[in-house]
A and B are shown apart, each in its own frame.
Chain A
C-alpha cells in the first residue's frame, strides 16, 4: 500500500519524460513516433465535431468500431502531400475491413484554401477543417504532418509527427484491423 504513491508518481514522471522526449525530438526537426503498446495502456482519442466540405458533421466518436487514421495536414505542407496518395490507397483497400482516414486541415484560410486543393486531387476520405480547440485537444500543432492511429475502441495506438514511410502506416493499420 505504501508503495502505491511512489509507483504512480514514477509512472507519471515516465509519461512526462516520454512526452518531453517526443517534443524535443520534433524541436530538433526529427520525425517522432510513439507506440502505445497494449490496448489497456492506450489513451482515449479526444472526440470532436467538425464540418466537411459539404457541411456534413463529422464526429470522431461515430467511427467507434473502426480503425481511424486521423491526419492533421495543411495545403502548404510538402511532406503532407506525399502522404495523401498513400491515404487514398489505404482508404480504397481497407475501407471494407472497417478502416477510414479522416483528414484535418489546419489551414488558417480554411475552406478557401482547402477546397481548391481537394478539387485537384482524388481524395476519397472525409476531410474537415480544424479549430484551435481541436488542435489543443491533440497536443497542439508544432509541426506537420501529425497522424494518430486510433483503434476500434477509440484509443490512440500510434502517433507520428513528420513524414514516416508508407509501410510503417500500413503495418500499423493491418495490426489494428487484425
Chain B
C-alpha cells in the first residue's frame, strides 16, 4: 500500500511538472560578442525565432490597445544605443481581427546601432537589455513576456 501511494505521488508530481512547463513562444539565440571601436559605431543583431503558428505584435501595432514589441537597453552601460531597428512587420488578417494587423513571426532580427560611451573603460563588458513582447496564435493570446538579453562586448 505504501509502495503504491509512493508511485502515485511520483506520477502526480511528473504530471504536474509536465503540465506546468511554460511553453516557449519566442526564443533568442545567444548573442555573439561585439567589438565596439573607440570611434564610430558597432551593431548588435539579436536573432529571434517565433514558435510556428504564433505571432507577436510588431513595434508599431495597428491598434492602440495592442502591446508593441519593445527592446530597451541598460542606460548605464559602457555603450549607448543610437538606434533600434525592428524587423519589417507583416500585415496579416486573423480569424479574430476585422482588418489585417501589424505582426512579426518566424525568424527575424532586431538590430541595434551602438557607440562607445564617452567615459567607458576599454576591455570586456556586457550590455544588458529587455525585450518585451505579446504573442498570440489564432485561438488564444498570452500575457506580455520579457526576455532578458545580455550581449558580451569588447570595448576598444
Chain A: residues with CB nearer than 8 A to chain B? 5-6, 9-10, 12-13, 16-17, 19-24, 26-31, 74-82, 106, 108, 113, 117, 141-145, 161-163
Task: Classify chain B's interface size.
Answer: 35 or more
Check A30/B18 contact, CB under 8 A, given A10-B8, A16-B12, A78-B96. Answer: no
Question: Interface on chain A toward B: helix, strand, loop, or mixed SS?
Answer: helix
B67 within 8 A of A: yes
> Can you list 25 A-B pairs with a CB-CB distance of less than 8 A?
A13-B8, A13-B11, A13-B12, A13-B15, A16-B15, A17-B11, A20-B16, A20-B20, A27-B19, A29-B53, A29-B54, A29-B140, A75-B65, A76-B141, A77-B136, A77-B141, A78-B94, A78-B97, A79-B96, A79-B141, A80-B141, A141-B143, A143-B141, A161-B140, A163-B95
Contact with A along B17-29 (1 / 0, CB 8 A): 0111111000000
A5 with B139: CB separation less than 8 A? no
Query: In the assembled complex, which residues on chain A have CB atoms less than 8 Å from the CB atom of B11?
Result: 13, 17
Within 8 A of A (CB), among B28-71: 51, 53-54, 57, 65-67
Partner of B66, one of A30, A76, A106, A142: A76
> CA–CA, A17 to B16, complex, Å?
7
Residue of A nearest to B21 (CB): A27
Query: In the assembled complex, which residues on chain B have CB atoms less than 8 Å from the CB atom of A81?
Result: 96
A143 with B140: CB separation less than 8 A? yes
In whole Å, how far is B1's beta carbon from the nearest beta carbon of chain A? 7
Chain B: residues with CB nearer than 8 A to chain A? 1, 4-5, 8, 11-12, 15-16, 18-23, 51, 53-54, 57, 65-67, 94-97, 101, 134, 136-144
Q: A13-B15, A23-B20, A74-B143 are in contact. List 14 more A-B contacts (CB 8 A).
A: A16-B15, A24-B19, A28-B23, A31-B139, A75-B65, A76-B66, A76-B67, A77-B141, A78-B136, A79-B139, A82-B95, A142-B142, A143-B142, A145-B140
B16 with A74: CB separation less than 8 A? no
Residue of B nearest to A23 (CB): B19
Query: In the assembled complex, which residues on chain B have CB atoms less than 8 Å from the CB atom of A80?
Result: 141
B139 with A20: CB separation less than 8 A? no
